[in-house]
Copies of this chain bind each other. A is one copy, B any other.
Amino acid sequence: MPLAVWIEYLAVAACAMTAVLAAEGKGIDLFGVLVLALVTAVGGGTVRDLCLDAPMFWIEQPLYLWTALGAALATFILVRFVTLPARTLAVVDALGLALFGIVGTEKALAFGTPAIVAVVLGIVTGVAGGILRDVLRSEVPVVFRKDVELYATAVFAGALFFVLLRESLPSAKWHRWVSMALIVALRLAAMRWKWRLPGFRMHGR
């Protein structure tokens, strides 16, 4: 398999693993854990494919389902005995965010969508899985919270950069790698130096 595909399965597994941890304190059983994991890992791409009227990527290639379910089951058992390395997972998650975001943008462009739609669908591919996970846990999505470091914004910047690069340098072959690197760099820097978006604030309150 090419490198990008390896990263993709690694990212699916990492998504599923972090989703399992999000089950903490919700009184959820194994089935709930597997659904949370599956929705987090493939939810973003699913929403994108529905919007594009593309065949579901996980129906075409069910190995994504096996990877997410296997990683979730292993994590469900593992966390009873050991504590997972949060730092490592966060780095793999940033890789996954970058890959999903750019793959999503690229797929939308391949379907002939305008640039703004491609950027929106790139962000959707990167973050909608986590949003659906939080909706299922009955929580306001983590990615919306003003006390959480730049996440969707990193995908936005990378996807926008990707679209602009393709416009201005159509013959180059490294668009996606540079854009992914930008997302990872932004996300890790945001975590390191606590870069956040401004929160909602209303006059007189």
- B-binding residues in A (CB < 8 A): 20-21, 23-24, 26-33, 35-36, 38, 46, 50-53, 55-56, 58-59, 62, 65-66, 76, 79-83, 113-114, 116-117, 120, 131, 135-141, 143-148, 151-153, 196-205
Contact = CB atoms under 8 A, between A and B. Distances in A.
Contacts of A36: 144
B141 A140 contact: no
A62 B117 contact: yes
Contacts of A203: 79-83
Nearest to A52: B59
Given A24-B205, A26-B144, A79-B201, 12 more contacts: A24-B202, A26-B200, A27-B140, A27-B199, A29-B148, A29-B200, A30-B198, A31-B144, A31-B153, A53-B55, A76-B200, A131-B136
Given A26-B140, A205-B24, A116 B65 contact: yes
- The residue among A30, A136, A153, A205 with the most chain B CB atoms within 10 A of its own CB is A30
B197 A30 contact: yes
B136 A138 contact: no
B141 A136 contact: yes
Nearest to A24: B202
A56 B51 contact: yes
B28 A146 contact: yes
Nearest to A20: B200
Contacts of A35: 131, 144
A140 B136 contact: yes
Nearest to A113: B59
Nearest to A148: B29
Contact of A140 (B20, B116, B137, B153): B137
A139 to B, nearest CB: 6
Given A55-B53, A62-B117, A116-B65, A200 B24 contact: yes
